[in-house]
């Protein structure tokens, strides 16, 4: 299957559901498309800011899944923060994938509260390195992963 085929398939998937778990090939296509559209300036910006664009793309489905589950419960970030007794910015960090602000124990509580632990386990298997780095899987890195 050629690149055009995977791009077309990926585009259809993204229109249907922003929270589907991306394969490595799909992440590669999205990174390539972003670099193609934005040019070498994007690579320079990403290197300068130490942002790992690939991780941002991978995390986007997890953030979208959290938002979908929260909406299904009819709750705002504030509502969940009050229920879990945590600051709102920690939940926003989870949904945006801001790893330097992410607290793994709060993330796991958030996933449990939303009822998406099994989905997160599937996502973590596909995104093993990122999940380990974020500390959201058992035996992963410690609090305050960067």
In sequence order, which residues have a C-beta less than 8 Å from that of residue 59 and are 6 or more positions away? 96, 97, 130
Q: What is the mean pLDDT of residues 27-33?
A: 83
Mean pLDDT, the chain, integer: 85
- In angstroms, the CA 134 to CA 141 distance is 7
Cα separation, 61 vs 96, whole angstroms:
10
Reported confidence tier of residue 141, pLDDT bands at 50, 70, 90: very low
Per-residue model confidence (pLDDT) at position 72:
96
Q: What pTM does this model have?
A: 0.80
């Amino acid at each position: 299957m050629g690149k055009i085929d995977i791009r077309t398939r990926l585009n259809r998937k993204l229109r249907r559901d922003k929270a589907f778990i991306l394969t490595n090939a799909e992440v590669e296509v999205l990174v390539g498309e972003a670099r193609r559209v934005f040019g070498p300036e994007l690579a320079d910006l990403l290197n300068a800011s130490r942002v790992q664009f690939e991780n941002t793309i991978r995390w986007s489905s997890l953030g979208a899944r959290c938002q979908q589950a929260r909406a299904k419960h009819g709750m705002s970030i504030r509502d969940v923060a009050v229920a879990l007794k945590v600051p709102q910015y920690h939940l926003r960090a989870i949904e945006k994938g801001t790893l330097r602000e992410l607290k793994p124990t709060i993330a796991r509580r958030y996933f449990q509260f939303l009822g998406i632990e099994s989905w997160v386990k599937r996502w973590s298997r596909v995104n093993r390195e990122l999940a380990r780095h974020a500390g959201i899987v058992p035996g992963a890195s410690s609090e305050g992963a960067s």
